[in-house]
């Protein structure tokens, strides 16, 4: 059995989030966590917020997570479903990959349907960059409804 250790970084506007949707999605291998086989063990070795705009914790939290064995950092789905989506995702992702040599996945749990509907109406995710960021967490409508 393969073991993968991950860290989750959430957007500071959701700093009080208990992580329930992320943990459920990981357990069920849903949303962006569907990249991990159900039979493999995935361990969360860190859970922190970005520190608020422009992401002060991004400079040191990944190092702490890496010291705890993290191989992959997941930016929580809140980075792309918030209003507006985080404008710093690309910079954060590039910095973590370069400085800490870690894979970064944008997304955790499936995008809740209510956010999908609103952002679709607003056209928020039309850009090529944002379309790519939501892809790992997009899921089916049936699954998105389970995360409303």
Q: How far is CA 133 from the centre of its chain?
A: 9
pLDDT at 126: 95
| Rounded Cα gap, residues 78 and 109, in angstroms | 9
Which residue reads 């790992």 in tokens?
136
Q: Please give the CATH topology (third level) of the domain spanning 3-146.
A: Rossmann fold (3.40.50)
Structure tokens at 101: 């040599």
Q: What are the Cα distances from residue 91, in Å, to 47, 88, 95?
A: 20, 5, 6
Q: Which of 65, 62, 60, 81 is nearest to 17 (CA)?
A: 81
Structure tokens at 42: 């995935």
Helix, strand, or coil here: 123? coil
Instruction: With beta carbons less than 8 A apart as the criterion, state whether 14 and 109 touch.
Output: no
pLDDT at 124: 94
> Which residues of the chain, if any, have pLDDT below 70?
none
Instruction: With beta carbons less than 8 A apart as the criterion, state whether 84 and 18 touch.
Output: no
pLDDT at 1: 80
| CA within 13 Å, CB half, 53 | 7
């Amino acid at each position: 059995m393969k073991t993968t250790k991950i860290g989750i970084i959430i957007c500071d506007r959701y700093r009080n989030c208990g992580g329930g949707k992320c943990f459920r999605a990981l357990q069920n291998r849903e949303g962006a966590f569907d990249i991990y086989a159900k039979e493999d063990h995935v361990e969360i070795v860190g859970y922190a917020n970005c520190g608020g705009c422009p992401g002060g914790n991004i400079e040191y939290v990944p190092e702490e997570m890496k010291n705890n064995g993290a191989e992959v950092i997941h930016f929580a789905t809140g980075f792309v479903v918030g209003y507006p989506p985080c404008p710093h995702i690309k910079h954060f992702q590039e910095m973590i990959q370069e400085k800490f040599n870690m894979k970064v996945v944008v997304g955790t749990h499936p995008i809740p349907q209510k956010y999908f509907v609103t952002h679709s109406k607003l056209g928020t995710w039309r850009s090529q960059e944002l379309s790519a960021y939501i892809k790992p967490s997009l899921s089916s409508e049936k699954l998105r409804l389970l995360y409303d």
